[in-house]
Amino acid sequence: MKLSGALVFALVAVQAAVLLSAVPSAQASELQVGYYSKKCKGLENVVKWHVVKALKANRRTGAALVRLLFHDCFVRGCDGSVLLDKSYDNPNPEKNAPVNIGLAAFDLLEEIKAAVEDRCPGVVSCSDILIFAARDAASALSNGHVHFDVPAGRLDGFVSKAEEAQAELPDSTDDVEKLIANFARKNFTVEELVILSGAHSIGQGHCSSFTGRLSEPADQITPAYRELLKYKCSSGSNPPVVNNVRDEDYNTVGRFMPGFVSRLRKVPDFLDNSYYHNNLAKIVTFHSDWTLLTQKEALGHVHEYADNGTLWDEDFSDSLVKLSKLPMPAGSKGEIRKKCSISNHRLY
Ligand code: HEM
Ligand SMILES: *[C@@H]1O[C@H](CO)[C@@H](O)[C@H](O)[C@H]1NC(C)=O
Ligand SMILES: *[C@@H]1O[C@H](CO)[C@@H](O)[C@H](O)[C@H]1NC(C)=O
Residue 83 in domain: yes
Within-domain flag for 5: no
Q: Atom 7 of ligand 1 has which residue's CA nearest to it?
A: 172
Q: Which domain holds residue 183?
A: 176-323
Shared domain for 208 and 227, answered yes or no, is: yes
**Tens-place pLDDT, residues 159-179:** 999 999 999 999 999 999 999
Query: How high is the mean pLDDT of the chain?
Result: 93
Per the domain annotation, does 7 fall within a domain? Answer: no
Do 202 and 317 lie in a common domain? yes
Q: Are strands 333-334 and 240-242 parallel, antiparallel or unpaired?
A: unpaired
Q: What is the CATH number of the domain that holds 230?
A: 1.10.420.10
Q: Is 208 in contact with 315 (CB distance < 8 Å)?
A: no
What mean pLDDT do residues 214-227 have?
98
Angle CA(72)–CA(30)–CA(164) in degrees, nearest 5?
25
CA dihedral (3, 4, 6, 10) in degrees, to 10, reads -10
Work out how many domains the chain is built from and give that number.
2
The finding on whether 314 has its CB within 6 A of some atom of ligand 3 is: yes
Does 73 lie in the same domain as 114? Answer: yes
Out of 311, 312, 315, give the residue to mutate to test ligand 3, the one with the largest number of ligand atoms within 8 Å of its CB: 311
Average pLDDT value for residue range 207-232: 98
| pLDDT over 70, % of the chain | 92
Ligand 3 center to residue 190 CA distance, Å? 20
132 and 29 within one domain: yes
Terminus-to-terminus CA distance in the chain, angstroms? 18
Q: What is the pLDDT of residues 179-219, one digit of tens each?
A: 999 999 999 999 999 999 999 999 999 999 999 999 999 99
| Same-domain status, 158 and 240 | no
Residue 94 lies inside a defined structural domain of this protein: yes
Co-location of 304 and 196 in the same domain: yes
The domain boundary residue, chosen from 122, 142, 169: 169
Q: What's the pLDDT at 348?
A: 61
Indicate whether this model's pTM tops 0.85: yes
Mutational test site, ligand 2, from 187, 192, 326, max ligand atoms within 8 Å of CB: 187
Same domain, residue pair 180 and 156 = no
Does 40 map to a domain? yes
- Residue 202 near ligand 1, beta carbon < 6 Å: yes
Residue 63 in contact with ligand 1 by CB distance below 6 A: yes
Q: 310 C-alpha vs ligand 3 centroid, how far in Å?
A: 6
User: pLDDT, tens digit, for every residue of 16-41?
Assistant: 445 446 777 766 568 999 999 999 99
Is the same domain home to 80 and 43? yes
Known catalytic residue: 71?
yes
Question: What would the DSSP string read from start to end of 35-69?
Answer: TTTTTSTTHHHHHHHHHHHHHHH-THHHHHHHHHH
Separation CA 109–CA 133 (nearest Å): 8
Say if 3 falls within a structural domain.
no
Answer whether residue 8 is part of any domain: no
Residue 101 in domain:
yes
Closest CA to 253 of 273, 229, 269, 237: 229
